Amino acid sequence: MSDQAALDEAARLHATRFGRMKPILAAKRHVTLLYLGQPMDEQIPSLVAGAGRAMATIQGESFVLTLDQVAVFGRNSVVLAASQTPRALAELEQRVRRAALLNRLLLARAPAFHPHLTLGHNDDRRVAPVNCPPVRLALDTVVLLRGAGDAPYQELGRWSLA
């Protein structure tokens, strides 16, 4: 089963458990490594250049992320979450966060890192996290995305971990 098919199945399985859920479009599904904030248009060129400099200093390795819990994060985000963070991912997040700080890329306070993928948004129903059939995602790339609302993401940069 492909990653997208597994995620579609997870969204279908958990849609009603967490209240009426508005699903995230498949094209917008992602695992956030580090939230930088909402840059203004004139900040984009320097943000992309800084991200390129930062990523040039980072060595990483591809890894598999196992999402084995379903939960509600924040006010209403229904997510697949990892009960355990792979060592390679934790190290990558620390290196990216440090490089982002050194290159002054953080435009907002970045929340604590908890690997997850948002499936949709519910009607503010709070439910305790529960274990679910695992979805395994092979990750080998860091992508800098810019998004606003329901519009498709704009890819600003892409770096291989290999």
Q: pLDDT (tens digit, 9 = 90+) per residue, 74-128?
A: 878 888 999 999 998 998 888 888 888 888 887 788 788 999 998 888 877 777 8
Instruction: Give the residue, 162 or 89, on which the prediction is more confident.
Output: 89
Going by pLDDT thresholds of 50, 70 and 90, the confidence category of residue 156 is very high
Cβ–Cβ < 8 Å for 155, 143? yes
Q: How confident is the model at residue 160 (pLDDT cuts 50, 70, 90)?
A: very high
Phi and psi, residue 99, nearest 5° = -65, -40
> In this model, does residue 2 exceed pLDDT 80?
no
State residue 159's pLDDT score: 92
DSSP 24-46: PPGGG--B-S-------GGGHHH
Residue range 33-68, pLDDT digits in tens: 888 888 888 888 988 998 898 888 888 788 999 999
What pLDDT does 80 receive? Answer: 92
Contact in structure between 48 and 37 (CB atoms under 8 Å): no
State residue 84's pLDDT score: 94
pLDDT of residue 53: 87
51 in Cβ contact with 154 (< 8 Å): no
pTM across the whole model: 0.84
- CATH number belonging to domain 3-160: 3.90.1140.10
- Paired tokens of 49: 């250049």
CA 131 vs CA 69, 79, 80, 91, 136: distances in Å: 4, 12, 10, 25, 14
- Domain segments of the chain: what residues? 3-160
